[in-house]
Structure 1
């Protein structure tokens, strides 16, 4: 079991560091260049024990804290943001089934997800509603002992290869968010149609794409969250993601600071070391300050989660702040490296594209402003 593996091996953070160095860093450029979802690397991540990190210990997992999660994902995102987020989605889904599923659901899916034999995906976003999670139109209607699902989902991480889908659907439009339920849908169920993965600016190792549901029949015993609980579960997962994504931005920004520092100390211009130019020194210091701020904000939000406090506002603050600062900081570090910063064998262009993607993920920057403004004005 996972706990036995990691008791005999180095601590989990060291396992993640080694996996990132040996499996992700040498291959990430090729994944992006080929626009390829690396399912083979996913299997190796499972073999390393990285697919059951949040599953309860009684189910064979490690149940690590939110503070431990952000440290782990930051380390891995230094190598590749996309594949790291793929693991984030899968591991969170496995934990959701282990904690909230029936005994039959847990027995059927959790061991296979922890072993990497079953890859999971989270299906909430729809084209017409975007970040408005309460506005989904995918319908689930009772059909005898089953549910019939019709609709479409977009921007699904792991869509390229997912086996098990965490599908949110509206069971009663008049009930609004209270009618939203969540179902466990198998990608090979009749009526489930996998669409081609998206060709994006970057982040192809996330395997992002969409699914359509044309009268897909799902047995009643595959409902994971009933109406009234589905929307709450989705929001809880989104809050965690709004803390995790900034931590991953910190990982990319740390990689940029490391590369820029090496470039400044290893090159000369106009008879002087680049590191002696005050303008470059100060710009590097500004990036380091932003990096420190992201880490502090993410740590505060994660601490609130671990303490059982409401972390929604802290998560919105850091989710708004981190991608923007990472995007600017990565561009600055690339500029410090000169034209070498543009080369495809350099990870910083990949990170730059990922930082832009991060501005949209789990609620755009504008959505975070809406959350924060409503809180400040006492409007929910």
Structure 2
């Protein structure tokens, strides 16, 4: 994951090379959704339990996903991508997360990097990295969190020092999505130690170059498909044009554009709850107890009705956040999306974990079997409570608005 408890991660660019809210044509998109569902059901679903037991990312499946364009969703069509809108991207992450949120999260992180190379990189960057990212020959990460800095992003200690027209980077990054395999990385570093956000800049770094050391992936309770790990930079030299956002500008952009990431995480949670609820209802309709289907017992049916009720609320909050993020992409002003994204992520992540557990409980011990989705989704929901700003960070964001809204 990009951060175990980061306040910001995986920023979505707001200055696309073409119309930032352009979208794939509706009929074409609906056909593509069907293609994605087929890929999910034939490639991801049969293998997700094995990948998890092997405790690894699935680069071979990500490469197969690239064949239908899933690593290039927001890359402009002129550069070989699908040219999707943010709302369409959220829909695709839902389709994939119905089977595996960790797989979807890994995929979307490489896609984010591909989109930002297309939109923010130089022509040299596009020539070096874009085709490989879109084809799954290379994978992407955004590196913000460090061993001693998560939610307090301004406290990062990785340094960037100007040397003869280039930059020397030194430091360590931790809790990075796709770190097990990524080598095209957007890395935040401090150019003026002690200046906090004012000195933070954003660099594109290449993990195949000297000075980059990949660390072993983390052993986690689950969710290994995200490829969480870290790396060290020791005398890594970045070219002058590898500085993508200068000091101060990068910090503001990261804190504002993280709204998009929080919103698609909320969408992922909705998909996990819906998939687990559907599994529980099907099981309850088939299994009998005391002379009637389990679902006919009021105690169980009312619990699952509560899950469905909260799922509807989560979807409405997520839809509101999608609209706010889309508007922020149109105007270039992210402030209006901060609260909707925080509300969506807080509610969706908190309710997902509890409601998935309720659905598992409704199936009895059967709900623990790996051929049902609940266990994998329960881990995904726990991960969702940390990535792109922890639940506590969302609560703090909302709390800060109270006096402005009501006092």
Q: TM-score range by the shorter chain?
A: over 0.9
Q: What is the distance in 2 between the residues matched to 1:337 and 1:8? A: 38
Give the alignment partner of residue 318 of structure 2, picking from 288, 298, 312. 298
For residues 128 and 161 of structure 1, what CA distance do their matches in structure 2 show? 23
Q: Is the 1:131–1:362 contact (alpha carbons within 8 Å) kept by the matching residues of 2? A: no
| 1:256-267 paired onto structure 2 within 5 Å | 256-267=276-287
Residue of structure 1 equivalent to 2:382:
356
Who is 1:312 aligned against?
A: 338
> What is aligned with 2:77?
57
Corresponding residue number in structure 1 for 2:6: none
| Offset, 1:378 | 4.0
Q: Aligned partners of 1:294, 1:269: CA distance in 2, in Å?
A: 32
Match of 1:345 in 2: 371
Q: Residues 279 and 373 of structure 2 are in contact (CA less than 8 Å); yes or no, is this contact kept in structure 1?
A: no
Deviations 1:159-201 (A, max 9, x none): 0111211110011134431211111111122111111111112
Return closer, same or farther for 1:87/1:195 CA change in 2, 3 Å cut-off: same
Deviations 1:327-355 (A, max 9, x none): 11110000111101112332211110111
Query: Take 1:124 and 1:344, find their aligned partners in 2: how far apart are those partners?
Result: 34
User: In the TM superposition, what are the counterparts of 1:121-132 in structure 2 within 5 Å?
Assistant: 121-132=141-152
What is the distance in 1 between the residues matched to 2:133 and 2:373? 30
Q: 2:302 aligns with which of 260, 274, 282?
A: 282
Q: Secondary structure at the residue paired with 1:140?
A: strand
What stretches of structure 2 of length at least 5 have no aligned partner? 1-22, 329-333
- 1:376 equivalent in structure 2: 402
Match of 1:133 in 2: 153
* Offset from partner CA, 1:254-277 (integer Å, 9 cap, x none): 111110011110011112221211
Tell me, yes or no, if the aligned pair for 1:66 and 1:303 is still in contact at 8 Å.
Answer: no
Partner of 1:26 in structure 2? 46
CA–CA distance in structure 1, aligned partners of residues 139 and 275 of structure 2: 29
Residue aligning to 2:236: 216
TM-aligned CA deviation for residue 356 of structure 1: 0.8
2:69 and 2:372 map into 1 onto residues whose CA distance is 29
1:325 aligns with 2:351: yes
Kindly report structure 1 stretches of 4+ aligned residues shifted beyond 4 Å.
Answer: 6-10
For 2:392 and 2:70, how far apart are their aligned partners in 1? 33
CA displacement, residues 131-162 of structure 1 (integer Å, 9 cap, x when unaligned): 12222111100111221111111110100111
Instruction: Find the aligned partners of 2:123 and 2:392 in 1 and give their Cα distance.
Output: 40
**Secondary structure of 2:203's aligned partner:** strand
Structure 2 CA distance for partners of 1:108 and 1:179, relative to 1, 3 Å: same
Instruction: Please say if residues 69 and 82 of structure 2, whose CA atoms lie closer than 8 Å, have aligned partners that are also in contact.
Output: no
- Cα offset for 1:106? 2.1
- When structure 1 is superposed on structure 2, of 212-221 and 325-334 the one drifting more is 212-221
Whether contact under 8 Å (2:37, 2:95) holds in the other structure is yes
Question: In the aligned structure 1, how far is the partner of 2:79 from the partner of 2:403?
Answer: 43
Secondary structure of the residue aligned to 2:323 is helix
Number of residue pairs aligned between Structure 1 and Structure 2: 376
Q: Secondary structure at the match of 2:401?
A: helix
Distance in structure 2 (CA, Å) of the matches to 1:47 and 1:225 = 31
1:320–1:368 CA contact under 8 A, matched in 2: yes
Distance 2:326 2:59 in 1: 31
Give the TM-score taking structure 1 as reference length: 0.94
Match of 1:153 in 2: 173
State the match for 1:184 in structure 2.
Answer: 204
TM-score, length-normalised on structure 2? 0.88
Query: CA-atom RMSD, angstroms?
Result: 1.9
Is the contact between residue 158 and residue 207 of structure 1 (CA under 8 Å) also seen in structure 2?
A: yes
